[in-house]
Amino acid sequence: MLNRPKVSRAVLALMCAMSFIMYLDRVNLSAAAGLIRDDLHLSNTNVGLVFAAFAYTYTLCQVIGGWVSDRFGAKLTLVTCASIWIVATVATGLAGGLVSLFGARLLLGIGEGAALPAQARALTNWFPAHKRGFVQGLTHSFSRLGNAITPPLIALLVAYSSWRVSFFAVGALTFVWVLVYAWYFIDDPRKHRHMTAQEEAQLPPARKTDVEATREPTPWRRLLKRIGPTMLVYFCYGWTGWLFFTWLPTFFMHGRGLDLKSSAMFSAGVFLSGVVGNTAGGVLSDRVLKRTRNVVAARRNVIIGAFLGALVFLAPVMIVKSLPVMAACMSLSFFFLEMTIGPIWAVPMDITPQHVGVASGLVNAGSAIAGIFTPIVFGLVVDRTGSWTLPFAGSLALLAVGIVATFFMRPDIPLDTANAQADISSSDELRFAENLTPRESNR
């Protein structure tokens, strides 16, 4: 009789699938933006406003969604918000002008706003501290895989039908995922019907993660103080990240004069580098943690190095004329930019497992706020100056700010004593598993 696959592995696969589909839902607009702009007679500024519409409600729903996931669990939260983004995706395909397109993107922001905080809530329950960087990096790498696949997929669908069909297809795929997730996932891993004693021993230390136990007041003031620096760092990441997510296919199409197929292939190449970067950053962060027992080195130092790499390789985009060289620089810059994701998303899990939904929502709100401004600024700059590379100057400045802000992050100091004791238990368990001698960490 074949052994049943590990439940944790199946749950991780579900979360990877969610990240992948969520970015298909999100990025299909940017992949088809050039066609939609011409079909609905929009300006670049109009397109930037539509891109930003998603970020308005997405930002608002980050903290609300995180709070809901902490109180009512990741399962209910994700089933509800995914159902909303199904409706929003289909509505985008039905849009007939600026107003309806803007409204559909607002609704998508509501649906997707709670998704990543709820995912962080689920991963905290299912995976121990020394795997946080890896699981966060891996799940987010699938979102970048969605980024990479969407442009050529849109090009293929347009060739045989229209840009509207792509939104209907992705909505149907999301519906299938919701059914599978609702059937298989459970918030408390120890109560899963397929959980074995052997796998249960590998779960994180038992905490009060059930619904009733999480209904305690959220320490907003202390939480904001501790998470604030990470929010700023993620804002600096998001300024460049959103620029890539929203404008990259149009940049290659209109900024470099490529056709839809060629722009899709160049965009896919850049986004594929992010797939590798996400996984590499998470793996590196966890390996540094295992080697040094220093969560500051594992999270903060990896982020600083990644920001430096992103800045160095983005700078030539401002001056190079060769398309292959420009695409290569963008790919390398995006690779390093995405290396920050695993460590950044592990920080709220390190600081406060008990309130990780709210904490992750606050962090992601930093990036979402950037998403409100960067698409509009990009469109305005292009319309006013005619330059498709000038908007990258703001990215260079904010990457530098992000490096400075990272020094103020303190993932080594838990929010409260209870979490500190839990983290000590996790570290002791990790040392025992590796037959290592306990030593002082996180100086």
Q: Which of 122-131, 244-253, 266-275 has the highest mean pLDDT?
A: 266-275
The more confident residue out of 364 and 13 is 13
The more confident residue out of 362 and 42 is 362
What mean pLDDT do residues 209-215 have?
46
Contact of 357 with 66, CB cutoff 8 Å: yes
Give first-to-last CA distance, the chain, whole Å. Answer: 49
Work out the mean pLDDT of the chain and round it to a whole number: 82
Tokens 């995180």 found at: 66
What single letter denotes the amino acid at residue 345? W
- pLDDT, tens digit, 9 for 90 and up, residues 62-121: 888 888 888 888 899 999 988 998 999 899 888 888 888 899 989 998 988 888 888 888
Nearest CA among 96, 125, 60, 66 for reference residue 353: 125
Domains of the chain listed by start with CATH number = 8-188+220-429 (1.20.1250.20)
- pLDDT, tens digit, 9 for 90 and up, residues 163-204: 888 888 888 999 999 999 999 998 888 888 888 888 878 777
- The answer to whether residue 363 scores a pLDDT higher than 80 is yes
- Give the C-alpha separation, 116 to 360, whole Å: 8
- Residue 92 backbone dihedrals phi, psi, to 5 degrees: -65, -40
Proportion of the chain above pLDDT 70, given as a percent: 90
What mean pLDDT do residues 248-257 have?
81
- The answer to whether residue 235 scores a pLDDT higher than 90 is yes
- The pLDDT, as a whole number, for residue 210 is 43
- The answer to whether residue 263 scores a pLDDT higher than 70 is yes
What mean pLDDT do residues 373-396 have?
85
Q: Show the 3-state SS of 1-31.
A: CCCCCCHHHHHHHHHHHHHHHHHHHHHHHHH
- The reported pTM is 0.70
The more confident residue out of 123 and 443 is 123
- Give the C-alpha separation, 378 to 255, whole Å: 12
